[in-house]
Amino acid sequence: MESDEQSPQLKGVVIISLPPPDNPSLGKTITAFTLTYNDYPQSHQTHQEDQLPISPPPPLPSQNPQLQFPTSRLFLGTPRKLLSFVFLSLFALAIYNSLFTNTFQELKSNNDDDDDQKPKSFVFPLYHKLGSREIPLNDLANPLRRLVYKENLVASVDHLNGPHKISKLASSNAAAAMDSSTIFPVRGNLYPDGLYFTYMLIGSPPQPYYLDIDTGSDLTWIQCDAPCTSCAKGANALYKPRRGNIVPPKDLLCMDVQRNQKDRYCETCNQCDYEIEYADHSSSMGVLATDKLLLMVANGSLTKLNFIFGCAYDQQGLLLSTMVKTDGVLGLTRAKVSLPSQLASQGIINNVVGHCLTTAVVGGGYMFLGDDFVPRWGMAWVPMLDSPSMEFYHTKVVKLSYGNSPLSLGGMDSRVKHVLFDSGSSYTYFPKEAYSELVASLNEVSGAGLIQTLDTTLPLCWRANFPIRSVKDVKKFFKTLTFQFGTKWLVMSTKFQIPPEGYLVISDKGNVCLGILDGSKVHDGSTIILGDISLRGQLVVYDNVHKKIGWTPSDCAKPNRLDSLPFFDSLPFFDGAC
């Protein structure tokens, strides 16, 4: 149209319709109704935006941003025209208001989507184990060493160099986020299985492995066909390493793992050997391997990164009988080789670990890595003891009571004032003196209606002259255990309370048993170890950034920020494209 051509006078309205919610790909629809006093016919055009081809709307009367509505001519028509105009104007106003509101919501949604591109805290579901495998004894010698492969294996491991890789389902900008976390569902129970476990997706293509969550172990390891000398049945197929997966002894994490072993760095070796012996004298031996670890972020995106873990080809002792529902151990201490430390060193999370185990008989809960799921209020915090030789999560306790009766902490020996939080232990352990005093205090329940009896489940059990279906049926006979931290003054101290549900177990014979054991031969013999039985019903957080341990009561169904957990039943199937 020429610039000097007379523009038709326009009266009408432009209606913009949003796409239906169930099919947003249709885009917006722009419908223009025009009526002029020239010989132009009435125009009606539709404009599809977004993913569909764009058709321009009919030309407006001028390049002028202001539309001129000549009222002298517009209202010279019949009253019907006037009413039509008023109706169309009101309708257009309503459409505009609706459009403005939705546009604002779209912009807000886009901002939220940008935030979602960042990896958020990782949360794991939790599940359970039989036995009382305890803390690795780091100062043990390593008498059992052998080569896994006969041929020379020279691996070039680039596990911590450069930014971590992000899968095609996550944003490439996600790697830079420090405030990120991942959440894992947890399954398990205290009795009869005796453990809580979650799953990890490892390898290319990724395969699921069920791992016992253990805040008392440094190294994550899975059973491995390298070939396997002695392996338990396990829940999944053995991990099969390739030559490129084997970590060489010059790797810094290898040196860290071997620092407490008798035979340390081997310059002529082509692999990094390790052996872990647990307090129940079971052991795991293998080599360090590296492979891809696939983590699902809380917003549903996937993050793929390099991860160093143990390829365990020789298990001995109780591990062979207890690893029926699991494939290995998930190490969660402060050690450099632990999973949270590796993720933190790559800038993926802040080094914070949390777990929440339900008190339900069927067990479960969740675990997270990162600080996004830490409650901002309602937590009780105590300082974490920071010892270069101790990577465990422990703190100092100043007083321990059963009801109103104090229990001995061992006199002047300060070591017995340490409390260690260990999710890898099924039960809780007291030093000998405190344990003896607790057992003596429990003699009062025998005169209250319970009778001490023999039971192979645990050393100290009672039966009743009525059916015992749960701890609730007998909790009235027992008292609460209270740990005081910071000061002996009750009002000013930080308290961790364990109700009868936190130290009693109902056996398969219908007896009630004490889930606190004599710890004089466990660890150093003078540390209180809080195991799964006493950690249930609490959200426990290990903040390695600020060196503190915190807890708050919880039903452990899910974090407040999540609608649901990605439980095992919804494990995705992956192909080689990941």
CA nearest neighbour of 418 among 381, 439, 388, 393: 393
Is residue 422 annotated as part of the catalytic site, yes or no? Answer: yes
Q: Collapsing DSSP states into helix, strand and coil, what is residue 500?
A: helix
b/e sequence 24-62, b meaning 16+ C-beta within 10 Å: eebbbebebbbbbeeeeeeeeeebeeeeeeeeeebeeee
Contact 224, 286 (CB under 8 A): yes
Residue 44's closest CA among 53, 54, 31, 62? 31
Q: How many Å apart are CA 241 and CA 227, to the nearest integer?
A: 10
Residue 334 — φ and ψ, nearest 5°? -85, 0
- SS3 assignment, position 41: coil
Measured CA angle at 542 (ends 538, 212), to 5 deg: 75
Q: Provide the 3-class DSSP secondary structure of residue 426.
A: coil
* Given the residues 327, 422, 455, 532, the one annotated as active site: 422
- Rounded to 5 degrees, what are φ and ψ at 564? -160, 170
d(CA 373, CA 325): 28
Question: What is the chain's length?
Answer: 578
Distance CA 161, CA 233 (A): 36
Token pair recorded at residue 94:
């309503």
Spatial separation of the C-alpha atoms in residues 325 and 234, rounded to whole Å: 6
Give the Cα separation of 564 and 185 in Å (integer): 10
Catalytic residue among 212, 214, 251, 327: 214
Q: Please give the backbone phi and psi of residue 141, each rounded to the nearest 5 degrees, phi first.
A: -70, 170
Helix, strand, coil: what percent of the chain each, to 5? 20, 30, 50
> Please, what is the Cα angle at 354 between 350 and 360, to 5 degrees?
160
How crowded is the C-beta side of 435, counted as CA atoms within 13 Å?
22
Contacts of 338 (CB under 8 A, 6+ apart): 217, 218, 219, 220, 331, 332, 391
Q: What is the DSSP letter of 471?
A: G
Is 371 an active-site residue? Answer: no
Provide the token pair at 576.
């080689």
Quote the distance between the C-alpha of residue 362 and its chain's center. 20
Residues 6+ positions from 268 with CB-CB distance below 8 Å = none
Burial (CB count <10 Å: 0-12, 13-18, 19+), residue 388: exposed
The set of residues, in sequence order, having a beta carbon less than 8 Å from that of 371 and lying 6+ positions away, is 121, 179, 181, 349, 350, 352, 543, 545
| Cα–Cα–Cα angle for 71, 75, 78, rounded to 5 degrees | 170
Catalytic residues: 214, 422
